[in-house]
Structure 1
């Protein structure tokens, strides 16, 4: 039982035109997927690889996929996660074990992550980017909450739009809003949240930026009736252009959510640094990844799984680069003593030894150099917190201040 072909389209990094980049087919019995770059793509002289680790550009070759029950990693990146899958299950009465390729095909291309789109035709047909505008922020946020709680629509038009654009990843309700030529993810406070998660995410992102790290821009909104909303700038959108992106999970050749401990053993910051080097990212990106690892350790962000890291293609530089940090949210309940990604081989614990053991793999020449860099970074992180702590509520300040001091001590 072989599925019908699903064609993969790419918005060209140079001109913005859409081209058919390849074809995907799934063998339903073996659950092996096969992707082949299109002959027309080769004939036109295009050479952009859509996944620099798992799908290098080699014309005429079938690339097999065995992870994700036969869906290639970069196509899994373009699928919705828990929130979007739930919407599609409701809308199409899908079983809980539906193959990810079903979600890929049904999700629609308007709000999909990155620069890929899919369709049943060999000729690209992709809807233009179109998102609600910033003045609709509050109405959209309230509709997201109502949808999350399975309440009737507050605004039928907005509800229809949210249900029709379930492509985004993550477990929390979210949508995209447009302000001029920039696009923002909108994530509201949920009644089930243990703390003001939108404010916590905003402060963490601003904290990282205050330390000089490449964290995504955020804006926090405190709206009527205590509604808290964060919007996060999308790095894969600008005007009419979409930019190629690939997740850290794809770079590490691992599944997320993982299906066993053998998968989580591959979740490693040093390995991700080596993959960045392998795909041509500069040394500065590996050092930035080290700095983010340390920041997550200090802040207690143990939701640092490999799908919360990414690389994006920079057309001007003609190479892949580490994408801005996103979804950096300190644990709102307890102070973790370990991260989800390994700091060094076999070490998940928040400690100086774990942070420095594999520092050479991030590009440092010596352990002494890495140690001096770590000390200066910890000073920056501490100073950065003083610049943003005024944004915190008293409850969140009481959560993060002692954690900052404890974790700085563990890493010094």
Structure 2
């Protein structure tokens, strides 16, 4: 267990002005318990944004103990890297394979954290910084990511140093952030040698397919043979120019440690819809979530785990909203019969009965309304397929088409 004797200060880029403020302090005691408290200066300034509306609601003076992640609060775990970033930090800092999440929070840089939080040893917040390579360097970034993934020496040492320094973004695949000339930030993910298919192209196709079906999916661009590998770049919803936006993962909202104990009772679309309601998101976000659940069932994306959903704070609306869909990739090996998250209470199986069983929790007034929405959405998904799948070769287009036809039949059929 990593014990820190001094407080670790947590900073927030204000949603309204973009100024950095000290929002609170974190400390781990000698018993290994993590404590968070909102900073008196934050309270005195009249600021009231909760950095995690479920686990750290704004309660001035409250000392909140972290119940998960070996003493690290959920939203601070959100600010840590996942598998890919953790692997880079283990290599760079010689960390053990079982290093606690706190170590990754401390070792990762504030330059590219997910969301609007940063951490540091001083009470004064940092200056906002940007250290992402520019879009014209995309080929070099992909080339270096490939070398990193294959554990080869640096091809471009300066790019390598920057990628290791900004290893704070989640996910298991090699990835890096690039910035375009409009100030937008994009995640770049190249294919790797162990891929069973052209995963970057499949992700690009599915993201466009979802958007063409009328759902809120993150924008993507496919780059064939960039730096010697196919790659996809995905627009980041947690930042724009020098502004970073508060985000909380579905894992945090559902109080579901991931990866970790198999808390499958908490991996649930209906429960996530309830959390959206409780955090103040409008009903259309719950219906959007229902639509994404259906789309994942149709395309066969069974990697829809609780870190692949999130909320983002919209300052202009003064409320949390469901973030755009991301990491939607169809299973390239088989057509799954179940999803990673429950479609209804206790049920992971893909069927019409399951999809509609808890429809009221997504904001529909009655089952008939949910049924009409489901049938209309299935028609939109079917109609959008040909255009979205155009970049695929015949074999992969046929595979996804056959899956589409199979799953449409499953979701249109009522069980006896």
1:240-282 superposed Cα distances (whole Å, 9 cap, x missing partner): 100000000111111111313xx12110000000000000000
Match of 1:198 among 197, 200, 211: 200
Residue 326 of structure 1 is matched in structure 2 by: 326
Shift of 1:126: 4.1
Q: Distance in 1 between matches of 2:124 and 2:228?
A: 48
Q: Distance in 1 between matches of 2:296 and 2:127?
A: 38
Shift of 1:395: 3.2
Q: Distance in 1 between matches of 2:242 and 2:395?
A: 41
Residue 382 of structure 2 is matched in structure 1 by: 382
1:196-220 superposed Cα distances (whole Å, 9 cap, x missing partner): 0000000000000100100000000
Q: Is the 8 A contact 1:220 1:231 kept in 2?
A: yes
Runs of 4+ in structure 1 displaced over 3 angstroms? none
SS of the equivalent of 2:390 reads helix
Shift of 1:14: 0.7
Q: Distance in 2 between matches of 1:288 and 1:100?
A: 32
Shift of 1:127: 4.7
Residue 178 of structure 1 is matched in structure 2 by: 179
Q: Distance in 1 between matches of 2:341 and 2:115?
A: 24
Q: Distance in 2 between matches of 1:179 and 1:270?
A: 37
Residue 365 of structure 2 is matched in structure 1 by: 365
1:17-166 correspondence runs (5 A): 17-29=19-31, 31-166=32-167
Q: Distance in 2 between matches of 1:232 and 1:405?
A: 28
Residue 349 of structure 1 is matched in structure 2 by: 349
SS of the equivalent of 2:23 reads strand
Change (3 A) 1:269 1:376: same
Q: Is the 8 A contact 2:139 2:227 kept in 1?
A: no
Q: Is the 8 A contact 1:32 1:64 kept in 2?
A: yes
1:257-406 correspondence runs (5 A): 257-260=259-262, 263-406=263-406
Q: Distance in 2 between matches of 1:399 and 1:145?
A: 28
Match of 1:232 among 234, 239, 251: 234
Change (3 A) 1:358 1:200: same
Shift of 1:91: 0.8
Unaligned runs of at least 5 residues, structure 2: none
Residue 244 of structure 2 is matched in structure 1 by: 242
Shift of 1:102: 1.1
Unaligned runs of at least 5 residues, structure 1: none
Q: Distance in 2 between matches of 1:236 and 1:220?
A: 21
SS of the equivalent of 2:384 reads helix
Q: Is the 8 A contact 2:196 2:333 kept in 1?
A: yes
Could you tell me the TM-score, scaled by structure 2's length? 0.96
Shift of 1:410: 0.5
Q: Is the 8 A contact 1:248 1:311 kept in 2?
A: yes
Q: Distance in 1 between matches of 2:62 and 2:226?
A: 56
Shift of 1:118: 0.4
Shift of 1:226: 5.7
